[in-house]
Chain A
Amino acid sequence: MAVPPEISKISDTVWELPVSFRQGMRVPARIYATEKLLKEMDETVFEQAANVAKLPGILKYAYCMPDGHWGYGFPIGGVAAMDAETGVISPGGIGFDINCGMRLVTTNLTYDQIRPHVAELVDRLFQRIPSGVGGKGFVKVSKNEFKRVVEEGAPWCVRNGYGWQEDLERTEEQGCMEGADAAKISEKAVERGYHQLGTLGSGNHYLEIQVAKPENIFNQELAAQFGITQPNQIVVMFHCGSRGFGHQVATDYLQIFLKVMESKYGLNVEDRELACAPFRSSEGQDYFAAMKCAVNMAFANRQVILHRIREVFSEVFGKTPQELGMHQVYDVAHNIAKLEEHVVDGKKRKVLVHRKGSTRAFAPGMKGIPEVYQRTGQPVIIGGSMETGSYLLAGVEGGRETFYSTAHGSGRTMSRHKAKTLFRGKDLLEKMRQRGIYVHAASYSGLAEEAGAAYKNIDDVINATEMAGISQRVVRFIPVGNVKG
Chain B
Amino acid sequence: MPYQYLDDVATADIAFEAWGKTREDLFVSAADAVMNVMVEDLESIAAAHKRAISLQEETLEMLLFQFLQELVYYKDAEQLLLRVPKVAIRNQGGFLMLTAEARGEFLNPNKHRLNVDVKAVTMHRFKVTEERQGWKATVVLDI
Contacts and interface: CB of A to CB of B under 8 A. Distances in A.
Nearest to A425: B115
Contacts of B13: 71-72, 416
A96 B122 contact: yes
B14 interface: yes
Interface string A162-203: 000000000000000000000000001001110010000111
Contacts of B40: 445
Given A133-B114, A192-B73, A442 B124 contact: no
Contacts of A272: 123-124, 126
Interface string B78-114: 0100000000000000000000000000010100011
B124 A416 contact: no
B117 A415 contact: no
Interface stretch (A2-10, A107-115, A144-152, A244-252): A244-252
A72 B10 contact: yes
A304 interface: no
A69 interface: yes
A412 interface: yes
- Chain B's interface size range is 35 or more
Contacts of B113: 443, 445
B43 interface: no
Contacts of B6: 415, 417
Interface residue tally on A, bucketed by range: 35 or more
A254 B62 CA distance: 12
Given A132-B114, A133-B38, A73 B76 contact: no
Given A72-B10, A72-B142, A134-B75, A446 B115 contact: yes
A355 B108 CA distance: 36
Interface string A414-430: 11111000000000000
B27 to A, nearest CB: 18
A244 B77 CA distance: 8
B116 A446 contact: yes
A271 interface: yes
A449 interface: yes
A203 B122 CA distance: 16
B12 A417 contact: no
Contact of A273 (B11, B14, B123): B123
B140 interface: yes
Contacts of B123: 72, 254, 258, 271-273, 275
Contacts of B73: 188, 191-192, 248
B9 interface: yes
B56 interface: no
B116 A202 contact: yes
Nearest to A194: B77
Interface of B: 5-15, 38-40, 69, 72-73, 75-77, 79, 107, 109, 113-117, 119-126, 140, 142-143
Given A72-B123, A273-B122, 13 more contacts: A69-B11, A70-B10, A73-B124, A76-B12, A96-B142, A132-B114, A191-B77, A193-B76, A202-B143, A203-B116, A412-B12, A416-B14, A485-B117
9 closest A-B pairs (Cβ-Cβ)? A72-B124, A244-B76, A272-B123, A202-B117, A192-B76, A96-B120, A191-B77, A72-B122, A133-B114
